Amino acid sequence: MDQKNNSQYLTVTALTQYLKRKFDVDPYLGHVYLMGEISNFRPRPNSHQYFSLKDNKAKISAIMFKSAFSKVKFVPEEGMKVLVKGRISLYEPSGSYQIYVDSMEPDGLGALYLALEQLKKKLAQQGVFDLPKKEIPKFPKRIAIVTSQSGAVIHDIMTTVERRYPIVQLVLFPAQVQGDEAAKTIVSQIKRINEMGNFDTIIIGRGGGSIEDLWPFNEEIVAQAIVSSQIPIISSVGHETDTTIADMVADLRAATPTAAAELATPVLRDTLLHLQDLNSRMYNAQGKIIQNYRDQVDHYAKNGYLQHPERIYQVYIQKSDILSQRLQQSMSEQINSAKQELYDKENRLVRNSPREQIHYFDTTVNNLTQKMLTSIRQIINNNKNIFGSKVGALDSLSPLKTLSRGYAIPTDKNNKILKSTADYQQGKEVDLKVVDGTVTLITKEISEDK
């Protein structure tokens, strides 16, 4: 290759940088509106998101930085069709082009509505909507109100409570009810009220508005704060047609702030009238009960037994005497019957006395005992004679008997009896067993009898 023409060749880095600049300065690629289907999406919490956008013929890599992704109200899912805005640029290390996404929304359905449906589905799977609701106290002493301090909500609640139940104390906990920071302030105030702990009811709410205006009350952190509250919560967000997640998880939902105040408090005048009615009914009932007791006392006072109490015992005394006589008669009859039965058995026992049988069997046992002793002695003597004869025969065959007549038994060192001349070896020791010990000999000469 001609070295003089190397200057005509670009490096890979130089070519990549040139192409990247082309992408970056192209006005059509700086602001791109793209529609596609999400692919290869793997959620990375609190970080940048990497995925692809594709249609039926092409695919492009995409990146959405953390700051931009935090503004997305819904959760992107694999296969979801979305509309994105961003810019096209080249990633130098790999030499691949990609879209840097600035915003994203679902194709065909608003992002907020989609996020709302996703959160409803998530909370339903967690069983949040099936949790038991806490009962709203009928006669509260203190009510906490979480809303904007400058809105009409607090004014409507105060006016309604003042008209219905002016003895209750209302405490306002100001919170943002619109905007990106609204959900955090609502959650903070709910937690603060629970930490204080001396409230009977909490009312959270705001007036009506668009779904964007009401969105803080659709945030998951607000729903979790309402569910975790130990104090019952009444939600009054928007109007009858605007149902938020907060309305669904609260212990009680009111269509308006005025309705929330009515649900949280009774009408004092009606309560007092009801108490007066209960007091009158209790007084009348108590008078009737006392009069009934008086009538019963008068009735008992006119009773003949109470006027002459001894008559009550006369009947029982007579019954006691009769039962006592019956008991004595029955006991006498049973004793006499038992005595007669005992006499009969004694007579039968005397007639069937076992003395004669005992004497007979006693004589029989003595005779058999004598016969048995005689037979045993005879058997023993016979066995002694047999044993003596066998011992004599055995003694006559005993080697020791033979030795006592002057014989000896020769053995080698292995205690083998030497019976013939073939068993002896010249010069070898021989042990000779005699009647009172052993004699060791040395073989000098061996000769056989002819």
The single residue listed with the structure tokens 């679902």 is 106
CA–CA gap between residue 231 and residue 201 (Å, rounded): 6
- pLDDT, residue 307, reads 67
Percent of residues in the chain assigned helix, strand, coil, to nearest 5: 50, 20, 30
Tens digit of pLDDT for each residue in 336-369? 999 888 888 888 877 776 777 787 888 899 999 9
Integer Cα distance of 239 and 235 in angstroms: 11
- Residue 118 near residue 106, CB atoms below 8 Å: no
Task: Give the rounded distance of the alpha carbon of 186 from its chain centre.
Answer: 36
Structure-derived torsion over alpha carbons of residues 154, 160, 164, 165, reported in degrees to the nearest 10: 10
Residue-wise pLDDT tens digits, 113-164: 777 778 888 888 888 888 899 999 999 999 999 998 887 888 989 999 999 9
C-alpha span between 264 and 202 (Å, rounded): 9
Task: Give CA–CA dist 431/433, Å, rounded.
Answer: 6
pTM (predicted TM-score): 0.47
Q: Please, which residues bridge with residue 174 across strands?
A: 147
- Answer left, alpha or beta for residue 190, where phi above 0 means left and psi between -120 and 50 means alpha: alpha
CB-based contact 213:184 (threshold 8 Å): no
Residue 192 one-letter amino acid: R
Residue indicated by tokens 């006395």: 353
For residue 432, the SS3 value is: strand
C-beta separation of 187 from 222 below 8 A: yes
Q: How far apart are CA 28 and CA 50, in angstroms?
A: 23
Nearest to 183 by CA among 206, 149, 154, 210: 206
Q: Give me the pLDDT at residue 187, please.
A: 94
Q: Give the pLDDT score at 140.
A: 94
CA distances from 269 to 201, 272, 422 (A): 21, 5, 147
Separation between Cα atoms, residue 164 and residue 159, nearest integer Å? 9
Burial degree of 286 (CB within 10 A; 0-12, 13-18, 19+): exposed
Range from 75-79, 255-259, 283-287 carrying the lowest mean pLDDT: 75-79
**Type of residue numbered 317:** I
pLDDT at 220 over 50: yes
Residue 1 has pLDDT above 50, yes or no: no
Q: How far is CA 26 from CA 21, 32, 325, in A?
A: 8, 11, 132
Q: How far apart are CA 229 and CA 190, in angstroms?
A: 7
